[in-house]
Structures are given as C-alpha cells and as structure tokens.
Amino acid sequence: MVSGVFHTSYESDMALRRTPAQKIRIALFILFILVFPFFANKYTLTLANQIAIATIGAIGLNILTGYTGQISLGQGGFMAVGAYTAGLLTVRLGMPWWLSIIIASLVTAVVGAIFGIPSLRLKGLYLAIATLAAQEIILWTVTHWKGLTGGVEALVVPDPRLFGLRLNADFNFYWLAWALAGITALVTLNLFRTHYGRAFIAIRDQDIAAEVMGVNLFRYKLLAFAISSFFVGVSGALLAHYRSIVTWERFTLDVSVLYLAMIIIGGMGSVSGSLFGASFMTLLPAFLTNMGRALRKVFPAINAIMPFIQEATFGLVIILFLILEPEGLKKLWEDIKDYFRLWPFSY
C-alpha cells in the first residue's frame, strides 16, 4: 500500500501497476533487461543468469514462506528434486530440455506437497524442523540411490538446443531465464489477486480465523507447498540445464538458508522483494571476491581468509538486516519512493 495515492475506481485499485510512475519504472526495467545483454561481458552475463534463476527460486520460496507463512528449510532439497529430475529425464530418456523442465517442475510440486503434509499439524519452528528433515532426507536419497542418480558423482546433462542454438551459452540462456523469471513474477502477482492467493495470506495472518472463514487449511497449505515447489523446481531444472552438471553439493542446507536469507533481505511476501534479495545475495559474494582481488596486492594474506570473510559477511548481513530493517530492501525502496512522492510535505 503506497501512501499519497488515491483510487477512485475499482479498476485502478485492482490494477497490478497503479500509477504512471509505476508504469514508467516497470517499462524502464524491462527496457534495461532487454538491452543489458548487448553491452554485458561474459562475467556480468553469468551473474545476470544466476540472478534470474535465483529470482525464480526466491519467488517460489516467498509464496510459501512470505505469503503463506510456512517456514521452509527444504528449499535446497526441492531444488535438487527439480535439477535431478530434469537432468535424468534428459540423460536417460533423451527428452527435449523444455519438456524435462516442465515435468521436473511438476514432480517437484508433488514432492513438495508430500513434505507439506506435516504442515497440517505443525506451525512455526516445528514446521521449520520438519522441512529441515525433508532437506536431509532428500539429499541423502540423492547421494545414496546410486542406481538412479549416480550417487555422489556428478550427473552430466547434454547441452539444451533450440533450432541449432546452444541454449546454455550465456547470451542465449539469458533470454530463456529472464523470460521464465518474468512469467513467474506475473503468475505470482496475479495469483495473489485470486481467492487462492487471498486464502494463503489469510492463513499467514491468522490460521484459525482463516479456517473459521471457510478456508480449508489442509488443502490450501498443501496447495501453497505445491505451487511454491513448482517454481523451485523450475529454478532447479534451469540450473541443471545451464550448468550442464548436477551435483548434490549445490543443494545442501546452505542453499536453503541462502534462499531464506534472500527473501528476508529482499522483503517477505513481495515479488519485487524476491528480485531485490536474489540480486543482492548473488552480487554480494561476487563483489567481495572482486574486492579481495583488488586488495590482494596490498594485503597478500587476504587470499587465504577470503572464504571466511564471505561466510562472516553472509551471517552479519542477515543479522544486521533482521535487527535494523526487518522488512528488507523492499521497504528501503518504498521509503525512497515515498520520500520523493510526498516531498516536500512528507508528514
């Protein structure tokens, strides 16, 4: 809800983009996304692709945790399901990449819904622990079911091709990843204008009140798990095709924590917040690495402690955001916009 904007009709109140300023901003953002790859080098393109994949995953987690209020520490496990399903379908069955992404996402949705069953009885930190167990169980299955996944060895996925183009080349993949990220964002924004989305938000705000008002908690919680896991599966499957290699190390508990950090730092229950958080958590390590490289001449010792600096910064950023700005980057951005919209009479 933005202050200082007044609606006089239901159409304008229900619109996704409400003010001319919002329309201009979104147009500029899309223009930037369209123009960016023609000026970017390989390194920045890789980062942009990572951000797109992370954004899809973060939106998925945000549907579950931010909008529906079900804390999930199983993100890494669900991504693993998406990535391994996509990879195995392509390698074993020779399925085209696009079909493998769709089927992998559906499979992830089903797995997510299964691990969502405990959410009927559990809330808050009990659910967090249950999803933590889901994470450990999925990862254990992946590493120990050698006949299916190849165990701890990497699964090599053939290059995805479209009309003879190699789709996992950075430039080509950029369009696929950002198109899917855009679709994910649009679907999610619209989801929360339907009665499903409103039921999710009602469950988050007060589950008992929601049930009293006729929201079937079990059904909607499972649905939230399924929809969320679907997008997480998309992001996992994309990762498999982009990297050409699927290994279990990419889907550990650290990944679950990373994605939770993204939505907390970006903003819970917000699509733009997911994008902010995904960008921030992707760019921060890259920024630190580059800083380390720049400082190497002055402090040669920095090389050895760089991984520790990364880890410490990660922890510190989470704690500082939680204490200083619990609503995340999205809130900062809103504050800036409010300041200019209401200037000079901001009170």
Partner 1 sequence: MDLFIQLTLTGLTNGAILALAALGFVLIYKSSDVINFAQGEFLLIGAYVMFSMLVQFSLPWTIGLVLTLLVAVGIGVAVERLVLRPLIGEPIISVIMATIGLSSLLRAIVSTIWGNQPRAFPAFIPSKPVHVLGATVGADRLWAIAIAGGMLFLFNLFFTRSKEGIAMRAVADDQQAAMSMGISVKRIFAWAWSIAAMTAAIGGALVANIVGVGPELAGFGLRVFPVVILGGLDSIPGAIVGGVIIGLLEAYVGGYIGMGLNQVISFIVLILILMVRPYGLFGQEIIERV
Q: Rounded to whole angstroms, how far apart are CA atoms 48 and 54?
A: 10
Smallest separation, CB 121 to partner 1 (Å): 6
**326 near partner 1 (CB under 8 A):** yes
Q: How many CB atoms lie within 10 A of CB 82?
A: 34
- Nearer to partner 1 (CB atom), residue 63 or residue 134: 134
Contacting residue, 2, 28, 99, 137, with partner 1 by CB under 8 A: 137
Contacting residue, 10, 38, 308, 345, with partner 1 by CB under 8 A: 308
- Nearer to partner 1 (CB atom), residue 158 or residue 307: 307
- Nearer to partner 1 (CB atom), residue 14 or residue 137: 137
Q: Rounded to whole angstroms, how far apart are CA atoms 347 and 340?
A: 12
Smallest separation, CB 2 to partner 1 (Å): 23
Smallest separation, CB 288 to partner 1 (Å): 12
- Nearer to partner 1 (CB atom), residue 31 or residue 125: 125
Name residue 245's beta-bridge partners. Answer: 156
- Nearer to partner 1 (CB atom), residue 139 or residue 240: 139
Restricted to residues 3-62, the positions that interact with partner 1 (CB under 8 A) are none
- Nearer to partner 1 (CB atom), residue 19 or residue 247: 247
| Cis bond before residue 344 (omega within 30° of 0) | yes
Restricted to residues 61-100, the positions that interact with partner 1 (CB under 8 A) are 65, 71
| Stretch in the footprint of partner 1 (CB under 8 A) among 38-46, 231-239, 241-249, 308-316 | 308-316
Contacting residue, 24, 27, 305, 332, with partner 1 by CB under 8 A: 305
Residue 2 structure tokens: 């933005």
Smallest separation, CB 211 to partner 1 (Å): 5
Contacting residue, 257, 284, 295, 302, with partner 1 by CB under 8 A: 257
- Nearer to partner 1 (CB atom), residue 22 or residue 143: 143
Contacting residue, 7, 42, 121, 219, with partner 1 by CB under 8 A: 121
**262 near partner 1 (CB under 8 A):** no
**122 near partner 1 (CB under 8 A):** yes
Residues of this chain that bind partner 1 (CB under 8 A): 65, 71, 117-118, 121-122, 124-126, 128-130, 132-134, 136-137, 140, 144, 208, 211-212, 253, 257, 260-261, 264, 268, 305, 307-312, 314-319, 322-323, 326
